[in-house]
Every structure is written in C-alpha cells, then in structure tokens.
Homo-oligomer: A and B are copies of this chain.
Amino acid sequence: MEPQAPFTSSDDARTARPLRHLKSYELSAPLSLERGGELPEVTVAYETYGQLNAARDNAILICHALSGDSHVAAHDADDDPGWWDLVVGPGKAIDTDRYFVVCPNVLGGCRGTTGPNFPNPATGKPYGADFPLITVGDIVETQKQLVDHLGIDRLHAVIGGSLGGHMTLTWARRFPERVDNAVALATCARLNSQSLAFDVVGRNAILLDPNYRGGQYYQHDERPSVGLAIARMLGHITYLSREAMTDKFDPDRHSPRRLQTAFETHFSVGSYLAYQSDRFVERFDANSYLTLTMAMDLFDLGATTDAIAASLAPSTCRWLVLSFSSDWLFPPAESRAIVDALIALRRSVSYCEIQTKAGHDAFLLEDELDLYGEMIRAFLDVSPHDEIEHAAEPDSPSIFNHRVDYDSIVDLLEPDASVLDLGCGNGELLARLRARGHDPVQGIELSQRAVRSCLQRGLDVVRRDINDGLAPFADQQFDYVILSHTIQAMTNVQGLLRDMLRVGRRCIVSFPNIAFRKLREQLHHEGRAPRSSALTGPNWYETSSIRFLSLLDFEDYCRDQNIDIIDRVALDTEQNLRVDNDPNLNADVVVLVIAAH
C-alpha cells in the first residue's frame, strides 16, 4: 500500500537503517553543560566526505537540522541517499572533490551521538527524561571537540539550515578564530512565538502520551508513538507552505490512498501525514524530539537588531545568509534581522531572500537549487573573480545600460574610498571599484539573479528593497553611497536620500534629465510626453520610471533640503559627450556628488 508520491524532501530519503559510514569519537573529558550539570561520557558520531588537504584548510562542517543526521550525502552509488545529496558531492555546490566535509550527529539526537537513548553511566539504564537540558551551545561544543580531534585548526566554512543554522550562528560567535565563512539558511536569531507554540504543542503531545511513562519507556514494548507522530505531523505542516500543500494535496483531496495506520486517512493530506509520521516514529526517539526542540526553543540571540548584534559581535567570519520567501516557520524577516545586525557590526555579509513556493524545506529541495546552491558555491569559492565575464541579467530591474555614467562615477571617486552601491545590479560597477582598490565595497540589489551574479563576482551583496531605507547602516559608514539611474523608480525618494546622506560621507546620484532639449521638444512641439531610452523606455504605458525630474528640479531640491552639491558631471549619452554649456538643456544624463551641509 503506497501513499501518494512523497515530497522530494530529505525526510523521505531517511530510514531507520544503521548508517554504514558512521565514525565515532569519544570526548576525552566530561562535557560541562551551559545550563548546569555535565555529561560524563559523550560519543560523537559523524560522517566525512572528500579529503582533508595537506594545509588542512579545506574542511567544511555541515550542521544538520532537527530530524536530520550525519548522512548528508550518499558515499557511493550503493549507499542510502543523504538528506542533502542535491548540494553535497563531487562537483556539486559543496564540492567534495575540493572540500573535506564533516557532518556530526547532534548531541541529544538518536543517530549515534550521545542522547537520551544512551545509557546513563550512573544507572546503567538509558537516560530517558534524565538526559540533562542541553543547548545549541552544548551541541556546538561537541562539534568543536570533534573538529579538534580531526586536527582542523580553521574551518573553511560552517554551514547549516534551520536548527543547523542556530549551530552555525553559535560557531561564529563562540569560536570566531575557527571559522572563516558561515552559511546560515532558513534560520533565525530566536524562534518567534508562533513557531515556539507549535513546538510546545508537539512536546505536550509526547509528554502526555501515556506510553511516555515519564521518559522511561525504553524497556517497554509500547513507545509514545502517538505523541511523537502528532508532534511530527505538526512539524511537517510547518515545513511546507500553504501553496505547496494546495498544489500537492488538492487535486485528489477527497481520494486519499489507502494505508495501514492508526491515524485518520479521510483526506489526501491526512493519509500523507499519517504515512510520514509512521515512518518518522520508526527512526526517531521521542526523548530526542523533546531534547532538541527544547534546545531550539531556548536558543536566543536576542529580539532586536541591537541585541543580535551584541550576540554576534565576537564573530569575524564572512557571512552568507539565505532565507526563503514562503518559509513561515522561520520567516525571511527573521533572517533580515540577523543580516541587519551583521551590517551594524560592519561584517562582510551577503544575503538573499529566495523566491519560492516550497516553504521552510526549500533549502532541501531542487526547486530553487539553481539559486541557493549556486550562491553557496560562489560564496565558498574565495578565489579572485574579477576576470569572470558576466552576461546581462534578464530580470535585472535596470532598463538602462549603466556603462556611460559608470565611467563618470569611477572618475569621481577618490582611490580606496569605501562604497555602498544601491541597486548594484549584477555588480559591474562594484567589481570595477574593487579592482581599483576600493575597500570595502558593498552592494544592495533587489533582483535575486543579480544577487547571484554579485556573489559569483565575489562581492558582498544584500538583497533588499532600498525603498525600505538603510536603517542597519551606521552614520557615515561609507565614504560614498551611490544611487545610479534608480531615483526615477523609487517610491520613497525623500526617505532614501536622507538615509543616503546619513550613511555616506558623500553620495553620488545619477539620473536621466527630463529637461534635455530633445525631451522638451517632444512635449512642447509635438504635444507628446517626453520619452527616451534612458528615461521612460519606449512608451508611457510601459515605463518603469515613476518620477520625472530635471537637473534643475534636483538642484532646487538640494537647496531646499540644505544638501551641498560638491561636484557635477553632465553627459549627452547619445553623442557620448561631456556637456559644459547649459547642462539642464543639453545633458540627457547627469551625475551629482552631494553631501549633507
């Protein structure tokens, strides 16, 4: 009796079978726990992929999530599938031909590392509910001791999603000297109260299952399978998006597959949850579920950007943070809070919210692999990128070839000046500036494909709508903030200009000039709205420009707002000339350097 085709999620691939390639390491001393107490003996079970190189600098630690394990990928063609085969393997985004990948089972779990199903040395019986309260910090401590044991001084990267993301964040702040790069996917600085509430309900279902017997059920035939299954069903719903569930279950909503199960199978979605949770209870231990969800729920780097920044202040690594638009368990705003904190700390950080229908589990699925996988690949590859050729990005919001005003902008910048480029597109200007010695250079861009291009150029880039302002950036954080050919598409012009003048010692603004002679004549003589490739695109009903301004209008604005105009370049891009005479009449593009008075 086969249920409907399963989701291609990691969960379906995992089994209760022993992990054939499992290695293990016994910690050399008792483990002191953050919340008090200790574990006298700790075994850390793990798997490795690829080879540690002679310099011992190619190791990547992968941290698995709540229901994952060390089996991140199949070791060979005959091996069981891993939960991240899509991403980890020879030639894949995390390339095991190049990197030495280590994935330990987490402390408190049930797949080989010490957990509640291990014997308590004090009694000889399984810990059960006597397993102490552990934290993400305790989990990371065991991972760090494993890394020591493996003779790895610095990790090229720590990578994890969800609860694995919590471990990644913890690595970076607890052991900054050991982490060069951190990739945190679909995670948060602490769970929101809704996500916490789902964990609470799941734990209550387990704790009040009569077969839970206060946690000492190992010697009984009956396990708290109902409670664990209820918790798992609930978790499963939160890992998927509403839209993904509709697509999956609505076509045969009233025609569930038949199933041998104690659970309701009235609806298609019900038989799926029954099947998945029946499989889950075969391979997972209820006490581990309690232990690990509590560790996750207690994880708390703070509720505000300031608090998160204080927590992450010790970190020194480069960061890549990825969130997924339909993830409602750890929503993108919670990743943005982490990114804002890292920006406030002036860390090297890139961020992308990836558009997807797949929900929290998106980082385990193939749908957006072309984006998140390639972003991880590019981020891990820290070799120089300046020579790489980049094709134009078709979904870039730009309607204009930037090169003409880029030349002027480059000429206006002092060498070494730090630069924030707003709406940086595929990073062409920033790559030129970095090659010229500017440092740091940071981009902000809305197109996720353009963000990927920036990462492929090795640039720091944050996906963000600049209409939301630049709040996380500090006053005078950059020598220059650049807004090139974007002001005409902004809804929040005044707020953005104010923020730019706060964040940059100077700002460079370029835009198409509506008072260019040819445009004046279109309106005056022909009676048609001005249009030019630079300003409006071909037609009034198609343009992405929502504002029209002349050089004179902008100068008026600067005077009214007490903004100094430091320098100005006027261009006739059609004739490729610099304009000196009456630029408001003769220039179609203008570039201004401004600063707060």
Contacts and interface: CB of A to CB of B under 8 A. Distances in A.
A35 interface: no
A529 B541 contact: no
A242 B527 contact: no
Interface stretch (A89-97, A199-207, A346-354, A411-419): A199-207
The 4 closest A-B pairs by CB, nearest first: A546-B546, A193-B249, A493-B541, A515-B527
Interface string A146-171: 00000000000000000000000000
A514 B529 contact: yes
A318 B515 CA distance: 54
Nearest to A536: B548
A520 B196 CA distance: 60
Interface residues on A, range: 35 or more
B248 A226 contact: no
Interface stretch (A118-126, A180-188, A229-237, A381-389): A229-237
A292 to B, nearest CB: 15
B528 A523 contact: no
Nearest to A208: B226
Given A200-B233, A262-B208, A263-B204, A253 B193 contact: yes
Given A262-B208, A520-B523, A527-B584, A196 B267 contact: yes
Contacts of A300: 254
A547 interface: yes
A334 B172 CA distance: 44
A194 interface: yes
A200 B264 contact: yes
Contacts of A253: 193, 196
A400 interface: no
Given A192-B246, A245-B193, A201 B529 contact: no
A557 to B, nearest CB: 7
B267 A198 contact: no
Contacts of A523: 514-515, 519-520, 523-524, 530, 550
25 contacts: A193-B268, A194-B242, A196-B253, A197-B270, A197-B273, A198-B237, A200-B233, A200-B273, A201-B230, A201-B233, A201-B234, A204-B229, A204-B230, A204-B274, A205-B205, A205-B230, A208-B230, A230-B230, A514-B529, A515-B529, A527-B584, A530-B548, A540-B553, A541-B549, A545-B546
A523 B515 CA distance: 6
B549 A201 contact: no
A540 B548 contact: yes
Contacts of A198: 237
